[in-house]
Structure 1
C-alpha cells in the first residue's frame, strides 16, 4: 500500500475552499472533493486562487488511487459526520477533523468562541465591536460568514479572535480550546442532523470540553440546561441573567445591565444608551460585555 499522506477536504463551499487555501499556504497538497456531480470545478479553482491552481478537485466520486493516498479528512460543516462517505474512511482508521480544528492548529492569540441556538451572530458581532472600539483589534470569524481558516494566519500573541461556532462545527473539534467560551441558550434545533436533543446538547457543550481552571465559560442563568452544565464545567463559570442576580456575573435590573464581578454591584449601561430591542438582545449584550 502506498503512503497515505494527503489531506482530503470534503465540501467545496466557502469553508472547504478556505481550508484548502490555508493548507496550500502551509505547503500541504490538499485534495478537494464535493459530492455534487454538477460542481463547476473551474469556478471553484478560481475562487481558491493561485496557490491552488494545480490542486486536484473531484466532483461526485473519488478515484480509488486518490482515495488510497488519503491520510486525513477535513470536512466542511455542511457534511454530516455520519454520512457513508465519511464513515467509510473512519472504518479504515483515517482521522476525521473539521475546518475549526484545522484553523485552531495555527491560532497564536486569545480565542473567544460563541455558540448557542439563538443569538450567536448578534453576540459575536457585538463582542467584536466592543473589543475593536475600546480594547484593540479583534478578528471576527466563523459561522458569522468569514471562515476561521481564512483569518487565523493573521493572529499573533497579542491578537483576539472572536468566533461564532455552530453545533455542526463543534462535531469535529478535538484539541479546540478557547480561553473564553459562551453558550447563550439551548433549545431544540437541527435534530435532523443530531438525531436527538441529548446529542445536540453534547455537541454544544464541546465548546468548553478542553477548557481548564484558567479559562472562562459564559452561561445564561435562565437556561436550565446550562445551569446544570455549569456544575460539570472544568473552568471558571460566569453567568448572565435577565431574571436573577447571579452570585458572580451580569444581570439586568431597572433598565440597566449590572455587574457584581468585583465584590460589589455596579451599573454598567442603561438600555437607552444601546440601540437594541428585546430582552433576548439584552441577554446577547450581557454575554458580549462578559466576554470583552
Structure 2
C-alpha cells in the first residue's frame, strides 16, 4: 500500500453502511489501520459490504462488542446514519477522540472545488439538475455526497472533475471542521428529523454549518423567503413567491435582474418548488461563470425523477401520483398545492416525533378523504379529525385498494406519506416502487 496522509494511524469508522464503507476504503488507501464498528448484529449488515471490507484488511466489530469497544484511536469517522447521541458514538466522544463526519473526511482528501446543496426538500432534484447542467455546459462534475457515491469514494477514485456537486444533509454537517464549499445552496427549511434532534433549532443549527467555513470570496445561493443569520459569503437570492430576489418569477418565466431567462412552459418539471430548484441551479451556474443562455437547454430537458410527484397511470378517470419521497410535512404541503383536482390522500409512516397538525387547513381545502398507514396513522387521524374523512389501512396494498374503490373520475390519488418509510419498508424508494406496482396492477375499468 502506498504511503498516505494517514500512514500508520489507527482510525475507527462508526457505521458499516455505504458511507462507512467508503470512509474505510479511503483511509486504507491513505495508509491507515482501520476498524469499522456498528451496533447492529452481523446478520443485519450487508454481507457484500463486510466481505469487501475484510478483503481490504479492515477489521469489523459489530453488536454489543462495538458499543463497548475501548481501544485507542487517533480519530473516528462518524457515518451520517449513526446518531451522535448513540451509545456507540458517546463511547468515543467520552474518551476525547477526535470525531469527524464522513463528509469532512472526503473533503480533506479532495483538491477539487465543491458546490454543496442543502435544504429540507429539493436537495436531490437540485443536485442532479445542477450536475446535469454543469456537464452539459462543459464543466465535468458528479452528483455525489448524500446521493450516489459518498464524497469519500469520489475522493479515493481521483477522477479529473472540474467541480463536485455535493448534496449535504444535516446529519453529514453535524461533525464538519474544515468543509468549505466555494458555492453553497440553501433551498429551504422546514421542521424534520425530530426523532434525531431535540428541537427544530438544533436541526436548523446543523444545516447552517454549510456556511461555517465560507469566506467573502465564496457564494451562497439562498432562498429569499428564509431568515438566515449573518453569513460571510456573497449571497445570491431566489424566490418563486416574492419579487425581492435576484432570481424571481414574472409572467410565466424565471427572470434574473428583470431579464427573462427560462419560460416555465418549456420545462418538463412542474410546481413552484421545482421552479425554485431551477432558480437555485441557475444561480449556482452564474457563480461558476456560466452564461444564462447555455444553461437553459439542459434545464428544460431534465426529466422528472421517480417518487417525486411521479404520475403513475390513470385508472377509470382517476390519476395516481407517487410522491413517496415526501418524508416531511413541507413536502406534502408542496405536493398538495401542486394539485388542481380533488385529492384522495394516502399518508403515514414511521413516527419521527412531529405532529401533522400544521397541514390541517390545507388538507381541509384540497383533500376529499385520506387513507392512513404505518406508525403515525392514529396520530394523523387525530390531527385531522373534523377537517377530512380519515380511514386507517393495515397495509399499503389495502390503502391502494380502498383508494381505488373510493376515488371518482376527475380526482387524484396522491401517495405523499409525509414521514419516513422504515416502519414498513426498506426505503422511500422501496415504498414508492411498491405503490407503483400496486397501481399498475389495478384493473382498467370505467367508473
TM-score (ref. length: structure 1): 0.88
Cα-to-partner distance string for 1:224-282 (whole Å, 9 max, x where unaligned): xx3333xx1111111101122335x211111111112xxxx311111122111100000
Distance 1:79 1:67, change over 3 A: same
CA distance in 1, matches of 2:224, 2:67: 52
Cα distance in 1 for partners of 2:70, 2:54 equals: 24
Match of 1:43 in 2: 48
Which residue of structure 2 aligns with residue 276 of structure 1? 269
Residue pair 2:39, 2:67 contacting (<8 A) in 1 also: no
Aligned partner of 2:232 in structure 1 is 234
Q: Does 1:256 align with 2:261?
A: no
Q: Judge which range, 134-143 or 97-106, deviates more.
A: 134-143
Partner SS for 2:190: coil
Q: What is the CA-CA distance between 1:38 and the residue it aligns to?
A: 2.9
Question: 88-97 vs 56-65, which deviates more?
Answer: 56-65
Matches within 5 A, 1:277-292: 277-292=270-285
SS of structure 1 residue aligned to 2:222: strand
> Are positions 1:246 and 2:239 aligned together?
no
RMSD after superposition: 2.2
CA-to-partner distance for each residue in 1:75-96, whole Å, 9 max, x for gaps? Answer: 1111001223212222211111
**Contact 1:108–1:156 (8 Å) recurs in 2:** no
| 1:171 lines up with 2:168 in the alignment | no
Kept in 2, the 8 Å contact 1:8–1:31? The answer is yes
Is this contact kept in 1: 2:14–2:88, CA < 8 A?
no
How does 1:127-138 map onto structure 2 within 5 Å? 127-138=130-141
The answer for the alignment partner of 1:15 in structure 2 is 19
Query: For residues 55 and 195 of structure 1, do their structure 2 counterparts lie closer, same or farther at Cα, with a shift above 3 Å needed?
Result: same
Relative to structure 1, the CA distance from residue 272 to residue 56 in structure 2 (aligned partners, 3 Å threshold; closer, same or farther) is: same
The 1:134/1:16 distance shift into structure 2, 3 A limit, reads same
Query: CA-to-partner distance for each residue in 1:184-217, whole Å, 9 max, x for gaps?
Result: 1110000111110111111110001111100111
Q: 1:284 to 1:215 in 2, by over 3 A?
A: same
Moved more, 57-66 or 5-14: 57-66
Q: Does the aligned pair in 1 maintain the 2:112–2:162 contact within 8 Å?
A: yes
Whether 2:138 is the aligned partner of 1:150: answer no
1:158 offset after TM fit, Å?
A: 6.3
Separation of aligned partners in 1, 2:244 and 2:67: 58
Taking the aligned partners of 1:9 and 1:182, their CA distance within structure 2 comes to 28
Distance change >3 Å, CA 89–CA 271, structure 1 → 2 = same
Larger RCO, structure (CA 8 Å, separation 6 or more): 1
Q: Who wins on radius of gyration, i.e. which is larger?
A: 2
TM-score in terms of structure 2 length: 0.59
Residues 35 and 268 of structure 1: CA distance in aligned 2, closer, same or farther (over 3 Å)? same
Asked whether the 8 Å contact 1:110–1:157 carries over to 2, the reply is no
* Aligned equivalent of 1:25: 29
Which deviations, in whole Å up to 9, do the C-alpha atoms of 1:97-134 show, x marking residues without a partner?
11100000012121000010000000000000110111
SS in 1 for 2:217: coil
Secondary structure of the equivalent of 1:123?
Answer: helix
- C-alpha change, 1:190 and 1:63, in structure 2 (3 Å) is closer
| Structure 1: distance between partners of 2:37 and 2:168 | 23
Report the number of matched residues: 277
Change (3 A) 1:124 1:83: same
Q: Structure 1 stretches of 5 or more lacking a match? A: none
Given that 2:173 and 2:210 are in contact with CA atoms closer than 8 Å, whether structure 1 keeps it comes out as yes
- Residue 110 of structure 1 contacts residue 158 of structure 1 at CA under 8 Å; is this kept in 2? no
